[in-house]
Structure 1
Amino acid sequence: MAIAEVTVIPIGTGSTSLSSYVADMQRVLKTIEGITYELTSMGTIIEGPLPRILAAAEALHESPFTAGAQRVSTSLKIDDRRDKPSTSRGKLEAVERKLRED
């Protein structure tokens, strides 16, 4: 299973507020099977098989265009670990364990 962080920024929307676009994108994610996701203040974390993550990223990128944006900038980071199962929560817990050891 892969983990990705996706940030989608509609450009030239006429407003500095993007929350309506973000809400639309979260609705889109609900329709995509085979992934889990978590909204953060700076993007969305998506977990699942790589093909499903890429499909989700494409759907997220298209969402602002559907809502009227004329330009969209999308950043995608993927952590695809294949030697053992990995989750976003597991990565955080590993750091927390290290901090407790101090």
Structure 2
Amino acid sequence: MAIAEITVIPIGTGSTSLSGYVADMQRALEEAKGITYELTSMGTILEGSLPAILEAVRLLHETPFRSGALRVSTSLKIDDRRDQDSSSRQKLESVERKLREQ
């Protein structure tokens, strides 16, 4: 399973507030298949197969255009570990264990 962090920034919106666009993107994710996701204050974490994540990325990138944005900048980080199952929770738990050990 792959993990991705995506940040989509609509540009040319006429306002500094982007929460409406973020809400539209979260609604669009409800239709995405094969992924789980978590909204954070700075982006969205996606988990699933790489093809499912890339399809969700396409969906997220396109959503602001449908909501009236004239330009969209998207940043994407992907962690695709194939030697064992991985998740955001597992990664955090690994760091937390190491913190307790010291």
Structure 2 unaligned residues grouped into runs of 5+: none
Identity of aligned residues (%): 76
Q: Is residue 46 of structure 1 aligned with residue 46 of structure 2?
A: yes
Q: Partner of 1:99 in structure 2?
A: 99
Please state whether the residue corresponding to 1:72 is helix, strand or coil.
strand
Please state whether the residue corresponding to 2:77 is helix, strand or coil.
strand
Counterparts of 2:32 and 2:70, CA distance in 1:
24
Counterparts of 2:87 and 2:18, CA distance in 1:
28
TM-score by length of 1: 0.99
Counterparts of 1:70 and 1:80, CA distance in 2:
32
Please state whether the residue corresponding to 2:63 is helix, strand or coil.
helix
Counterparts of 1:15 and 1:101, CA distance in 2:
47
Counterparts of 2:14 and 2:101, CA distance in 1:
49
Letter in 2 for 1:98: K
What number of residue pairs does the alignment pair up?
102
Structure 1 unaligned residues grouped into runs of 5+: none
Letter in 2 for 1:64: P
The two structures, once aligned, show a CA RMSD in angstroms of 0.4
Q: Partner of 1:35 in structure 2?
A: 35
In the TM superposition, residue 95 of structure 1 has moved relative to its aligned partner by 0.4
Once the two structures are superposed, what CA deviation does each residue of 1:51-101 show, in whole Å capped at 9, x if it has no partner? 000000000000000000000000010000000000000000000001111
In the TM superposition, residue 12 of structure 1 has moved relative to its aligned partner by 1.4
In the TM superposition, residue 27 of structure 1 has moved relative to its aligned partner by 0.3
Instruction: Could you list the structure 1 runs, at least 4 aligned residues long, displaced by more than 6 angstroms after superposition.
Output: none
